[in-house]
Chain A
């Protein structure tokens, strides 16, 4: 403890943050104590190096940004936007290779598109706003349950395993004790909620809803659920950076589905500042899916897409989860259980390839089934 205090003083001294009295006092101490003097010298060197290192890093990122900007504006001939001179040069150099490659590529493209065209199932025209999905009843009930559907309908509130869930979305864990985040529109008006992934199937209940933000907090409420040891991702406090690559995991069908894209706008539908826009294809059932970036931070919660528009989606910015949790804690002042909800502060998957991140995150994303 004493060491940290000494170091703090040394740093303030080096930065010139001490007032004259303090400074005098510290200088006397320095004269009297050789160890402190040595620490000052050593630490000055270290801090100088750190500062220069920081500036070097910053300059490198400036260079990178400038290059991208200039290339986009066509002010430099970059690899991505091939200038005329370069094309001519490359053409001369690789004329034959290019010809062969082009014909191979052409044939391959035709073959593949023909294949894809024949294989791809025809998707129904999408005209949905919210991505709450309808779960195929048959897929979700066991064969035996099929005969009991009528019975089940009559005692829908009983919580045995014969509940037939009809709609669903996605949710993800924010606290090791089994708290999840999903969209309000996924769980609105629910009688029963269950969550399911490779780990198992558990019943859950809604503990808080913020309809304006479309954020709902669920709690797994099942004896068979074992708390997690840790959570690999964090919830971002900032709104994400334009063009940053993102991925999502969700349950548009009974199997977990991966999607990848980038943040295309910091605002959502019609300039909504609560949300953001993603270049990402999403489907019914993707509602409530976490949007993660390379740093392993959840920057958003997928909640919709524009009618008749494919390829981009909207997400509520992840930072609002903090606000909703605060509101929940205020609301439930007496209940210490809720006061103990704690978000993970360190991402253990920062900087990993998306493939590896997905492996780690998969267990924390659930299909949310509702009836």
Chain B
């Protein structure tokens, strides 16, 4: 019972990107995933990638509002990591013997689908922003991601006043939105 409460607290912490919670979950699960990967033809770097992606899947799950995993965090992370790793091995065409389970796994198909979709969206956004080049990239990141206000931005970027910065930001934004919505409509049109 006590463990269940702790787990819930951890997940709530995770949802708000609380470093302490992230650290605890990380510490308690990393070695398990690493041995899974290394015992199945992977390297320590692969283990880091896979584990961090599994953490993102968990993060997205709790962000979507459900703190109920119906299983322990450990089991969940393990199951997701296993799925991710099998998929990676497939992509690499690397020979993989069937993974012997160190832990019991739970079905995570739905979560994986959500994750893949979201991941693709974020990657697209990442690419779109990078493709804008400077100063657009930094300008939009400062405003929309770091949430700095226009006066601060104008000063940092060397604009003579906030209005100039706003105009520049507007132009950059229009370009980003164009890329974003053309992808967005394609995705949703096809799917």
Of the candidates B27, B144, B145, B180, the one whose C-beta lies within 8 Å of that of A76 is B27
Interface residues on B, range: 35 or more
Tell me the chain B residues, 34-55 only, with Cβ under 8 Å from chain A: 34-35, 38-39, 43-45, 48, 52, 55
Please measure, in the bound complex, the distance between the C-alpha atom of A217 and the C-alpha atom of B156, giving whole angstroms.
22
Tell me the chain A residues, 289-346 only, with Cβ under 8 Å from chain B: 342-346
- CB contacts (< 8 Å) of B138 on chain A: these are 346, 350
Residue of A nearest to B130 (CB): A351
Please measure, in the bound complex, the distance between the C-alpha atom of A182 and the C-alpha atom of B122, giving whole angstroms.
44
Of the candidates A53, A346, A350, the one whose C-beta lies within 8 Å of that of B125 is A53
Of the candidates B23, B38, B122, B146, the one whose C-beta lies within 8 Å of that of A53 is B122
- CB contacts (< 8 Å) of A62 on chain B: these are 17, 19, 22
- CB contacts (< 8 Å) of B26 on chain A: these are 63, 66-67, 70, 76
The smallest C-beta distance from A230 to any residue of chain B, in angstroms, reads 12
Give chain A's interface secondary structure class. helix
- CB contacts (< 8 Å) of B156 on chain A: these are 237, 345
- CB contacts (< 8 Å) of A1 on chain B: these are 167
Contact flags A173-201 to B (C-beta < 8 A → 1, else 0):
00000000000000000000000000000
B177 at the binding interface (Cβ < 8 Å): yes
Let me know if A56 and B166 touch, CB within 8 A: no
Of the candidates A45, A79, A89, A345, the one whose C-beta lies within 8 Å of that of B157 is A345
Tell me the chain A residues, 196-221 only, with Cβ under 8 Å from chain B: none
Question: Which residue among B22, B45, B159 has the maximum number of chain A CB atoms within 10 Å of its CB?
Answer: B22
A95 at the binding interface (Cβ < 8 Å): no
Let me know if B48 and A67 touch, CB within 8 A: yes
Please measure, in the bound complex, the distance between the C-alpha atom of A348 and the C-alpha atom of B122, giving whole angstroms.
25
Let me know if A79 and B44 touch, CB within 8 A: yes
- CB contacts (< 8 Å) of A47 on chain B: these are 144
Residue of B nearest to A63 (CB): B52
Residue of B nearest to A85 (CB): B35
- CB contacts (< 8 Å) of B67 on chain A: these are none
B134 at the binding interface (Cβ < 8 Å): yes
Stretch at the interface among A3-11, A130-138, A280-288: A3-11
Please measure, in the bound complex, the distance between the C-alpha atom of A45 and the C-alpha atom of B184, giving whole angstroms.
10
Report if A67-B34 is in contact (Cβ < 8 Å); known contacts: A42-B181, A46-B180: no
Let me know if A50 and B144 touch, CB within 8 A: yes
Residue of A nearest to B180 (CB): A46
Please measure, in the bound complex, the distance between the C-alpha atom of A51 and the C-alpha atom of B166, giving whole angstroms.
19
The smallest C-beta distance from B49 to any residue of chain A, in angstroms, reads 11
A113 at the binding interface (Cβ < 8 Å): no
- CB contacts (< 8 Å) of A51 on chain B: these are 144
Please measure, in the bound complex, the distance between the C-alpha atom of A75 and the C-alpha atom of B123, giving whole angstroms.
31
- CB contacts (< 8 Å) of A64 on chain B: these are 52
- CB contacts (< 8 Å) of B55 on chain A: these are 63
Report if A76-B30 is in contact (Cβ < 8 Å); known contacts: A8-B166, A53-B122: yes
B89 at the binding interface (Cβ < 8 Å): no
Let me know if A76 and B22 touch, CB within 8 A: no
A58 at the binding interface (Cβ < 8 Å): yes
Tell me the chain A residues, 1-43 only, with Cβ under 8 Å from chain B: 1, 3-4, 7-8, 42
Let me know if A75 and B134 touch, CB within 8 A: no
Of the candidates A4, A70, A85, A347, the one whose C-beta lies within 8 Å of that of B134 is A347
Let me know if B22 and A49 touch, CB within 8 A: no
Tell me the chain A residues, 56-97 only, with Cβ under 8 Å from chain B: 56-60, 62-67, 69-70, 75-79, 83, 85-86, 89
Please measure, in the bound complex, the distance between the C-alpha atom of A34 and the C-alpha atom of B90, giving whole angstroms.
49
Of the candidates B23, B135, B159, the one whose C-beta lies within 8 Å of that of A69 is B23
7 A-B pairs whose Cβ atoms sit less than 8 Å apart in the complex = A51-B144, A52-B122, A62-B22, A64-B52, A66-B26, A86-B44, A344-B158
Which residues of B are at the interface with A, using a C-beta cutoff of 8 A?
A: 17, 19, 22-23, 26-27, 30-31, 34-35, 38-39, 43-45, 48, 52, 55-56, 59, 63, 118, 121-122, 125-126, 134-135, 138, 144-146, 156-159, 166-167, 170, 173, 177, 180-181, 184
Contacts A50-B144, A66-B19, A66-B23 supplied; 4 other A-B pairs, CB < 8 Å: A51-B144, A70-B27, A79-B48, A344-B158
